[in-house]
Amino acid sequence: MPTIPMTQLFAIVLEKDSRRVTEAILREGIMHFISTTEFNAEGMKNLSTVQPETSLGQVSDLRKRIEGFLHSADIVPKMPREYDFNNHIRIDIKKESELLDKIEAKREGIRDKQRVLNQKILELEDIRRQLQIYGSGLSGIAIPSQQSRLSIKTGQLPASNINQLDDSLKEKPVLNIKLRQENDVAHNIIVSMKRDSGDVDKLLSEAGWRELELSKELKSDEKKLLEEIPAKIERLTNDQKQLQAQANNVVKEEAGNFKEIWVSLRVNELCYKIQTNFKSSSRTVVFAGWVPLSKKDKLSKGIIKASNGYCYLEWHEPGSVETIGDEIPVQLNNPKILAPFQMLVSNFGIPKYGTIDPTVFVMPIYLIMFGLMFSDFGQGVILVIVGLLGASIFKRNEERKNFYQLSWLVIWCGMSAMLFGVLFGSYFGSDLIKPLWFDFHSIVSGHNQNASNSVIHSIYDILLITVYFGISVIYLGLVFNWINIIRAGKWMELFFDKGGIFGGWIYGGGIYIAYYLVSHDYKEFPDGRIIFMLSGLPAILLFIREPYRYFKQSKATAQYNNNFLLLLPSFLMQWIVELLEIFSGYLSNTLSFMRVAGIGIAHVCLMISFFTLAAMTSGLYSILILIIGNLLVIVLEGLTAGIQALRLSYYEFFTKFFHGTGKLHTPISLNSKL
């Protein structure tokens, strides 16, 4: 499928109508603007850039500020599908900023109260923790006065250093009270004489001691302290929730007004963004951009109506002399059902304008390869369930749109695994139902009971399936390349490029020769004349390319080299290198598809291994081994199959025809992201 045809608009409107024209363009939302820097005509250089009525930065900052207020109250503003430009509100930036300042001041006062409450909660939590460690029976320990000869320390140290501390304090008149141990931290009370404080402190420091100051509550005689603290924390937490509700209500009271202002500011932003692509004189405004050809008349009517007919519109076809700029944006037009596969294509690159968009073909190619590598009905059902869960989670999250598409890709892969599981008779690694095509598991294990009823008898036959599939994919890529070249009118490349007709001719000849050799037990080649026609003749014709290019370039520059014969060795060397690239390249491309069979065989071997392990046990252990085995296979083999199917699509299919140098058509519309 080629990309959507585009056409370029060059327009001139009166300066007084520029705002209405801007709104008409935004309403349609189909124009991809050309930067004013690409206006190279002499008359354009003296034109100036259009300045918006209000600074775009001020409008954007105010919109983001309002958006932040609404988000704080769990309100997400959205643009309406249609906007009434006739009733567009002009926003007073200063007035709305002052209103936001007042609301912010109210909320800041509430937040100050919340911070005070939060500090109290943290203090109570600390007291509760200390009570859990030291208990509430410390009221009997007197706090030494300045005149006292006793020193009482409470603190903690690494549990691994407890023995070290005990040994070091043996010779000292010190009482070491061990209270509690939390993980690798021990909590102790050290009672010593003040005169020994220096030595004791040194020993404590060596043991990693950290002194803690206990809360006064721990030394009180209150018996119900542990019961009262949770109640106090709960009351303070409820007070915090009430304050948070007050803060949210401050925003919700103005939510309706804020939403209207946000939409209006958003529209202004988009209008100003459009006008940055305008060039103006004292009375007129000039702009240009790309529009889908099918929408040409609709946009023309909108601009003519907005300008009351006082406008000049000029339409240019891509590639014409009058066209401004060299790059034509690309718009892809695939059904929503293909969105996950369009994501795969876009990750590789955007197809160049006028070339084939392979999305429609990527879907069956990718799913067939995945199914051949991961063929199991039961495991496919698990993938579908996982994909559906992911799709439900990310469905309404625009920021995670790629994850939503990835979830749908998992669903499609799961359905492919289910289909091939039925064809190969695999249900969570077992053959519960007779296969519709052939028994993959029996062939791999060497016990194919249905060999007489199937054309697939051995692993060799499975490898051939993937080779034939690979040949089909490669030839499809070559055909697409020929179509792209014909559309571009590059007739020389159509024949002499290594992905051209002669390259495809050599590839087809090589396939026939290989097939003939294999079918004759590797003992006989085709007739020499056939080999020459299939591979020799196109190889000789490829030699013409370099001399042709030489004479064409010489004619263009009017400089002929009389020593043409001296260039023949160079032409010969380039021809040999080209032939080597063609033969080795196509051979490696074809053999790469054998990894599809290899991964499919590995998938079956893993399941056979887990069933063998399960057979060595019985009961619950056997069931657990099968469950864990299936989960491991789903994760590891599913990921491997997905990556390899993508790799083969990119490097063995796309490289034959795909030019990922295109630029997406990104019109400015009401749904645009800024």
pLDDT tens-digit readout, 618-673: 889 999 999 999 999 999 999 999 999 999 999 999 999 998 888 999 999 888 77
In this predicted structure, the answer to whether residue 149 has a pLDDT above a threshold of 70 is no
Q: Is 53 left (phi over 0), alpha (psi -120 to 50) or beta?
A: alpha
Q: Classify domain 137-221 by CATH number.
A: 3.30.70.2750
The two tokens of residue 405 are: 């598409």
Name which of 25-34, 317-326, 427-436 the model is least confident about.
Answer: 317-326
pLDDT in tens, 261-270: 888 888 888 8
In this predicted structure, the answer to whether residue 228 has a pLDDT above a threshold of 90 is no
Q: Classify domain 1-49+278-329 by CATH number.
A: 3.30.70.240
Could you tell me what percent of the chain has a pLDDT over 90? 39
pLDDT at 69: 82
In this predicted structure, the answer to whether residue 161 has a pLDDT above a threshold of 80 is yes
- Rounded to whole angstroms, the Cα distance separating 344 from 359 reads 8
Name which of 203-207, 542-546, 554-558 the model is least confident about.
Answer: 554-558
Q: What is the pTM of this model?
A: 0.77
Query: Mean pLDDT, to the nearest integer, of 327-342?
Result: 91
In this predicted structure, the answer to whether residue 110 has a pLDDT above a threshold of 50 is yes
549: amino acid identity, one letter: R
pLDDT at 216: 55
The two tokens of residue 391 are: 């799709």
Which has more confidence, 564 or 125? 125
Residue pair 33/239 in contact by the 8 Å Cβ criterion: no
Query: Mean pLDDT, to the nearest integer, of 589-618?
Result: 93
Query: Mean pLDDT, to the nearest integer, of 10-20?
Result: 91
pLDDT at 253: 82
Q: Is 446 left (phi over 0), alpha (psi -120 to 50) or beta?
A: left
pLDDT at 226: 57
Residue owning tokens 């999250």:
397
pLDDT at 21: 93
In this predicted structure, the answer to whether residue 345 has a pLDDT above a threshold of 90 is yes
Q: DSSP 3-state assignment of 638?
A: helix
**Which of 569, 589, 570 shows the shortest CA–CA distance to 503?**
589
Question: Most confidently modeled of 119-123, 322-326, 618-622?
Answer: 618-622
Name which of 90-94, 269-273, 505-509 the model is least confident about.
Answer: 90-94
pLDDT at 171: 66
Residue pair 561/554 in contact by the 8 Å Cβ criterion: yes
Beta bridge partners of residue 156, listed in sequence order:
187, 210
How crowded is residue 584: how many other Cβ atoms within 10 Å of its Cβ? 10
Across the chain, mean pLDDT equals: 84
Model confidence at 608, pLDDT cuts 50, 70, 90, reads very high
In this predicted structure, the answer to whether residue 16 has a pLDDT above a threshold of 60 is yes
The two tokens of residue 312 are: 């000049």
Query: Mean pLDDT, to the nearest integer, of 571-598?
Result: 90
pLDDT at 337: 93
pLDDT at 46: 64
Query: Mean pLDDT, to the nearest integer, of 512-528?
Result: 89
Model confidence at 225, pLDDT cuts 50, 70, 90, reads low
Residue pair 597/368 in contact by the 8 Å Cβ criterion: no
pLDDT at 448: 66
Which has more confidence, 52 or 302? 302
pLDDT at 114: 86
pLDDT at 338: 94
**Which of 251, 289, 224 shows the shortest CA–CA distance to 665?**
289
Query: Mean pLDDT, to the nearest integer, of 433-437?
Result: 88
Model confidence at 169, pLDDT cuts 50, 70, 90, reads confident
Q: Which residues contact 171 (CB under 8 A, 6 or more apart)?
A: none
In this predicted structure, the answer to whether residue 564 has a pLDDT above a threshold of 70 is no
pLDDT at 8: 93
Model confidence at 140, pLDDT cuts 50, 70, 90, reads very low
- Rounded to whole angstroms, the Cα distance separating 662 from 32 reads 14
Query: Mean pLDDT, to the nearest integer, of 427-443?
Result: 88
Query: Mean pLDDT, to the nearest integer, of 27-50?
Result: 75
Query: Mean pLDDT, to the nearest integer, of 9-38?
Result: 89
In this predicted structure, the answer to whether residue 145 has a pLDDT above a threshold of 60 is no
Residue pair 388/404 in contact by the 8 Å Cβ criterion: no
- Rounded to whole angstroms, the Cα distance separating 6 from 292 reads 4
Could you tell me what percent of the chain has a pLDDT over 70? 88
In this predicted structure, the answer to whether residue 447 has a pLDDT above a threshold of 90 is no
Residues present in the chain in total: 674
Query: Mean pLDDT, to the nearest integer, of 111-137?
Result: 73
Query: Mean pLDDT, to the nearest integer, of 8-27?
Result: 91
In this predicted structure, the answer to whether residue 105 has a pLDDT above a threshold of 90 is no
In this predicted structure, the answer to whether residue 137 has a pLDDT above a threshold of 80 is no
Query: Mean pLDDT, to the nearest integer, of 360-378?
Result: 96
